[in-house]
Amino acid sequence: MKLCAVACAALLMVTTVACGGAAGTSSSGGGAGQLTVFGSEPPTLDPALMSDTSASEYVVEIFSGLVSLNTQLQIVPDIAESWDISKDGATYTFKLRDNVKFHSGKPVTAKDFKYSWERATDPKLGSATADTYLGDIKGVAEKLEGKAQEISGVKALDDRTLQVELEAPRFYFLAKMTYPTSFVVDKENVDSGGKTWIDKPNGTGPFRLTEWKKGERIVLERNSNYYQEPAKLTKINFLLAGGSAMTMYENNEVDISGVGINDIERIKDSSNPLNKEFVIAPSLDIWYVGFNTEVPPFDDAKVRQAFTAAIDRDKIANVVWKGLLTRADGVLPPGLPGYNSGVQAIKFDPARAKQLLQESKYRGTLPPITYTIPSSSTTIGPASEALLEMIRTNLGVEVKVQQSEWAQFLGDVKRNPLQNKKNKYQMYELGWSADYPDPQNFVDILFYSKSLDNNGSYSNPQVDRLIEQARGDPNPGDRSKKYQEAEQLLVSDAAVVPLYHGKHYQLVKPKVKGYKPAPMTISHYRYISVE
């Protein structure tokens, strides 16, 4: 979901592959019904503030919303048992289940959703995701700008009926409602807990948070008040620090482990007993180099195109990453509706790269360039190192490297015109994992000129026009074509450098039942059991 690194977002596919960190179950000291998982330190667990994959893994288990995605990535009822859509497609009326309770046992009502969304859109909270995921609702823009005290398009008709009016028909609206920004929170919990309310959240999800010791562990326990089938696991222990996941897996200390680049060849060997426990699953994501188009020299498309042509993406994916990742030509990942295998990428061509640089308004003489990587490590990864060497060799441009801790990176890379906040980085490494299976989640959210998630401030009137047309198009095929046209334009314009799409490489002990790696973050731990 959202930013990966990215963020965690997260959790990084690249980090997971590189170091072997991944989900794991405990086979020692836990017993049946308990799971121990390697996790990442989340910047926050507040659903309204969450914007990365490292946090989403926990948030989707602690909290819940009107609808959710099942393991087949289909939109299914969650707290809402049903909904009606008006003939014009602009008004949704949700009927809530009558047995939904917070972890404390307090009933959930439609008013709780109205409160939660108005809290998320309060400009004082400063949510970076409220406009993106709730902005289609009538009155949200005024609320975010501080011009209204409530969201006019959200009405609690009674305790079990929530009516939502959109500014215009949006055929991806239900999909957006699966994202945590729309999840329900308890007003009393938020008010009484103050700034630290999230340390003891009163959620509605299948698990409740019982411990969060920063830098060490997060512990979730089964929610006895859950309104659907209760989780099979009694407890999940997320390890935020520890040793090698592969070593712990082979020592029977964990039951699931990511397989890193140093172990992949031996695990692929069919003669290795571990090969029978090897699982490969796709991931709906894109890893890319981002350009801040508001600052020199990346305000010139020819400079961006030159940098793109100087990078051998095949070599990075197949040599540096040993084929673990798939080269990306566009921004839509394989398996996502609207994916275009025929998108025309800027090809690796050092001679053309130098020519483009000379054709730019900078005539090949560039200002100092800094490449920011979200990492707390003292060294940069092999892929980043190879990429920078390609730029130096093929363009003759020296790029300074800057590393930033993940939470700090998330705050600095974001732009928010409503708060006059700009992206602090010039060129950066980032990824995006699907929040819901729709091309709008990539093309619109990342590249529409007015989107708050358009961190590079990329602007192309043709791209904007296609995105705006796709938003209200009821025909899935026509919508996909519009997004594909927009994708081709932004790829040719070098809005970003698409690098690669990830995959999940994992080992799973036979005792772990019901585990199915999903291509994006969804609530799934409730389906897992440990014999």
Give the pLDDT score at 11: 30
The DSSP element (H or E) to which 288 belongs, if any, is strand 285-291
| Lowest-confidence region among 75-79, 136-140, 280-284 | 280-284
Phi-psi region of 131 (alpha: psi -120 to 50; beta: other; left: phi over 0): alpha
pLDDT tens figures, 192-234: 999 899 999 999 999 999 999 999 999 999 999 999 999 999 9
The DSSP element (H or E) to which 163 belongs, if any, is strand 161-165
Give the pLDDT score at 416: 76
Measure the CA–CA gap between 340 and 329, rounded to whole angstroms. Answer: 9
Is CATH 3.80.30.20 the right assignment for the domain spanning 285-501? no
Give the pLDDT score at 13: 35
| Lowest-confidence region among 203-207, 222-226, 245-249, 451-455 | 245-249
Q: What is residue 89's DSSP assignment?
A: S
pTM (two decimals): 0.88
pLDDT tens figures, 145-172: 999 999 999 999 999 999 999 999 999 9
426 versus 251: which is more confidently predicted?
426
Q: Which whole number is the average pLDDT over 257-286?
A: 92
pLDDT confidence bin for 24, thresholds 50/70/90: very low
Query: For residue 155, how many other CB atoms are within 10 A of its CB?
Result: 15
Q: At 373, list the tokens.
A: 């990587």
Measure the CA–CA gap between 399 and 388, rounded to whole angstroms. Answer: 7
pLDDT confidence bin for 3, thresholds 50/70/90: low
Measure the CA–CA gap between 20 and 157, rounded to whole angstroms. Answer: 50
Instruction: Please name the amino acid found at residue 176.
Output: K
Q: At 161, list the tokens.
A: 């009926």
177 versus 281: which is more confidently predicted?
177
pLDDT exceeds 50 at position 19: no
Q: At 306, list the tokens.
A: 């030159």
Q: Which whole number is the average pLDDT over 82-101?
A: 97
The DSSP element (H or E) to which 476 belongs, if any, is helix 476-492
> Which residues, 6 or more positions from 465, have their beta carbon under 8 angstroms from its beta carbon?
none
Measure the CA–CA gap between 163 and 158, rounded to whole angstroms. Answer: 10
> Which residues, 6 or more positions from 341, have their beta carbon under 8 angstroms from its beta carbon?
334
List, as one string, the DSSP characters of 19-34: H------BSSSS-TTE
pLDDT confidence bin for 1, thresholds 50/70/90: very low
Give the pLDDT score at 346: 98
Cβ proximity of 528 and 35 under 8 Å: yes
What 3-state class would DSSP assign to 255? coil
Measure the CA–CA gap between 305 and 344, rounded to whole angstroms. Answer: 13
The DSSP element (H or E) to which 445 belongs, if any, is helix 440-447
Give the pLDDT score at 7: 32
Residue 136's DSSP bridge partners are none
pLDDT confidence bin for 307, thresholds 50/70/90: very high
pLDDT tens figures, 379-433: 888 999 999 999 999 999 999 999 999 889 988 998 877 677 899 999 999 999 9
Is CATH 3.30.930.10 the right assignment for the domain spanning 64-187? no
Rg (CA), the chain: 23
User: Distance from CA of residue 176 to its chain's centroid?
Assistant: 13
Give the pLDDT score at 31: 57
pLDDT confidence bin for 243, thresholds 50/70/90: confident
For β-strands 235-239 and 34-38, DSSP reports them as: parallel
The DSSP element (H or E) to which 279 belongs, if any, is strand 278-282
| Lowest-confidence region among 28-42, 141-155, 381-395, 434-448 | 28-42
Residue 462, CA distances (Å) to 171, 491, 518 in order:
21, 13, 34
Measure the CA–CA gap between 194 and 297, rounded to whole angstroms. Answer: 44
Give the pLDDT score at 14: 32
pLDDT tens figures, 481-526: 999 999 999 999 999 999 999 988 999 888 889 988 888 889 999 9
Measure the CA–CA gap between 528 and 522, rounded to whole angstroms. Answer: 13
Q: Tell me what percent of the residues of the chain surpass a pLDDT of 90.
A: 76
For the chain, give the mean pLDDT.
91
For β-strands 67-69 and 75-77, DSSP reports them as: antiparallel
pLDDT tens figures, 311-363: 999 999 999 998 899 999 999 999 999 999 999 999 999 999 999 999 999 99
27 versus 269: which is more confidently predicted?
269
Q: What is residue 315's DSSP assignment?
A: H
Cβ proximity of 173 and 471 under 8 Å: no
Give the pLDDT score at 27: 38
Give the pLDDT score at 512: 87
Measure the CA–CA gap between 519 and 280, rounded to whole angstroms. Answer: 11
pLDDT confidence bin for 239, thresholds 50/70/90: confident
Alpha-carbon dihedral angle through residues 315, 321, 324, 330, given to the nearest 10 degrees: -50
Query: For residue 378, how many other CB atoms are within 10 A of its CB?
Result: 6
pLDDT exceeds 90 at position 51: no
Domain ranges of the chain: 1-63+205-283+502-531, 64-187, 285-501
Pick the CATH number of 1-63+205-283+502-531 from 3.30.420.110, 1.10.3720.10, 3.40.50.1970, 3.40.190.10: 3.40.190.10
Measure the CA–CA gap between 430 and 424, rounded to whole angstroms. Answer: 14
